[in-house]
Amino acid sequence: RELGPTIVHAHFTRYDLAALRAPRPVRVFWHIHSHREIRSPWARAKAFVKYGILTRYVEAVVAVSGAVADECRAWFTPRDKIRVVYNAIDPERFCMPDPRERWSARNGFGLTLDDRVVLFFERRPYKGGATLRAALESLPAIRLIVLGGSQEARDLFGAAPRVLALERLDDTRHAYWAADALAFPSENEAFGAVVIEALACGVPI
């Protein structure tokens, strides 16, 4: 409210509400990025307020996929305000590695060219980590690179040398270039950017 911006992009209701109460009108571009089942009565009530009421006061509601746009419409967002703008990547950056780049990426993780490596991005339970852990129990020869999430969540996958667990990477391309496959067992997803990043790097999913 103190900054008085003309455009606000916010993920969280508490910021959108503040923008709507600003002294002068703002054009709130409400970026809807979540696509999850809403089960509890409290969650359903919040969804109705967010999608059905507050979105009537913004200039545009930006959804990152057709499924999210459908979700907005199902919760009574005005149809004429919904815009679908898909997530995008830079294909000059996320690209297939040459043999030297692949070897360098594997070497950086302490992997050999003979290792069979699966990459997984951990963040929240709905990303499907439990499903992947169950699958890995019957695949003892597979090595895993797990990125993101909490230390506790990463520890559930096991220990080195089979599991390489990292909080973050400065350049995630190296993880794609080192992997033989991306595991994507997500239960709910708005638009999985890691899927198109993996495809651009030539990694099966």
pLDDT for 87 = 84
What's the predicted TM-score (pTM) here? 0.79
- What pLDDT was estimated at residue 34? 65
Q: What is the mean pLDDT of each run of 10 residues along the chain (205 residues)?
A: 75 70 75 68 82 85 88 90 91 96 96 96 87 93 94 91 93 97 88 91 97
CA angle (12 as vertex; 9, 14 as ends), nearest 5: 105
Q: pLDDT by residue (tens digit) across 18-61?
A: 777 776 767 878 877 765 666 788 878 878 888 888 888 888 88
What pLDDT, on the 0 to 100 scale, is given for residue 8? 77
Q: Residue 168 in contact with residue 178, Cβ under 8 Å?
A: no
| CA-to-CA separations, 10 to 32, 34, 113, in angstroms, rounded | 9, 13, 43
Query: In the prediction, which pLDDT does 35 show?
Result: 57
| Dihedral over Cα of 149, 151, 154, 160: its sign | positive
Contact 74, 102 (CB under 8 A): no
**pLDDT reported for residue 170:** 92
